[in-house]
């Protein structure tokens, strides 16, 4: 027997330090008995087995808290989320418009369809079909359950007629139940929902929002401003400078 009271060198154990330590995955063995002391995430006689599913840490004594099928790292307990979920515990669905692993993919759904947060499949609204919900059930100009009704919208001013209700979606510059009314003063764009920013009595183009200046004013550098010739960066309307005689 060794007369020294010093422990065996690393990876050795036994009364004469003649045995090699069998511990794996960073485990350390008792210098006399050879019994393994396992690091976080590992168990077993020689630290060869990872923690059972749902546990992690020293002696696998901590319980994983991952949700929605997320996998728990057997060492740190950090969650690896399945497709469609994010968050520290995988508790949140992907934000609207994204899907897949780490919510890294952008949805490609049309006509107001929602995107399934896991695989990106489009959940079409009633009256639409196709991989991206791009197709209407009814031919253009018709609507209804059996496509037997004529859309009441004024075709030239309309973006779409809902295939079930017949509701009109108006093009830029048009409003009204049937898209037969021009935008009221101060508004422009699709459905006349955008607010004009023109000043000093300027009219606003119902389609583009460009300012149509009142007499005595000129259009500025920006189409949506009316300004003086000497101040082309000011975003408000000013009186036009009179030319010298």
Q: What is the CATH number of the domain that holds 54?
A: 2.170.300.10
Shortest CA distance to 56 belongs to which of 71, 82, 76, 38? Answer: 76
- Its pTM stands at 0.50
**Number of domains composing the chain:** 4
Residue 127 and residue 155 in one domain: no
Domain assignment of residue 40, yes or no: yes
Residue 29 and residue 44 in one domain: yes
Task: Name the band, by pLDDT with cuts 50, 70 and 90, for residue 16.
Answer: low
Residue 15 and residue 56 in one domain: yes
Look up the domain containing 123 and give its range: 81-136
Residue 36 and residue 54 in one domain: yes
Shortest CA distance to 113 belongs to which of 99, 132, 98, 96? Answer: 132
Residue 13 and residue 39 in one domain: yes
Specify the CATH number for the domain of residue 177. 2.10.25
Q: What does the block give as tokens for 59?
A: 């002696």
Taking residues 189-215, report their average pLDDT. Answer: 86
Domain assignment of residue 187, yes or no: no
Q: What is the mean pLDDT of the chain?
A: 84
CB-CB contact of 191 with 210 (8 Å): no
pLDDT tens-digit readout, 135-170 = 877 888 899 877 889 999 999 999 889 888 899 999
Task: Name the band, by pLDDT with cuts 50, 70 and 90, for residue 102.
Answer: very high
Domain assignment of residue 70, yes or no: no
Residue 157 and residue 213 in one domain: no
């Amino acid at each position: 027997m060794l007369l020294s009271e010093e422990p065996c060198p690393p990876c050795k154990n036994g009364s004469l330090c003649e045995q090699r330590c069998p511990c794996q995955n960073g485990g350390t063995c008792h210098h006399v008995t050879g019994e393994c002391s396992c690091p976080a995430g590992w168990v077993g006689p020689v630290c060869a087995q990872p923690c059972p599913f749902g546990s992690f840490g020293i002696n696998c004594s901590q319980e994983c808290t991952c949700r929605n099928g997320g996998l728990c790292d057997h060492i740190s307990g950090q969650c690896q989320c399945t497709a469609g979920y994010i968050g520290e515990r995988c508790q949140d669905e992907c934000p609207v418009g994204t899907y897949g692993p780490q919510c890294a993919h952008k949805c490609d759904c049309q006509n107001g369809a929602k995107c399934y947060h896991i695989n990106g499949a489009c959940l079409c609204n009633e009256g639409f079909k196709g991989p991206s919900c791009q197709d209407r059930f009814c031919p253009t100009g018709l609507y209804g359950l059996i496509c037997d009704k004529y859309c009441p919208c004024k075709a030239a001013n309309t973006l779409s007629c809902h295939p079930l209700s017949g509701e009109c979606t108006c093009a830029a510059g048009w409003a009204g139940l049937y898209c037969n009314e021009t935008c009221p003063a101060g508004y422009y764009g699709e459905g006349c929902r955008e607010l004009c920013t023109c000043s000093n009595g300027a009219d606003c183009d119902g389609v583009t929002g460009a300012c149509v200046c009142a007499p005595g004013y000129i259009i500025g550098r920006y189409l949506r401003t009316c300004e003086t010739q000497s101040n082309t960066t000011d975003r408000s309307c000013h009186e036009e400078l009179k030319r010298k005689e």
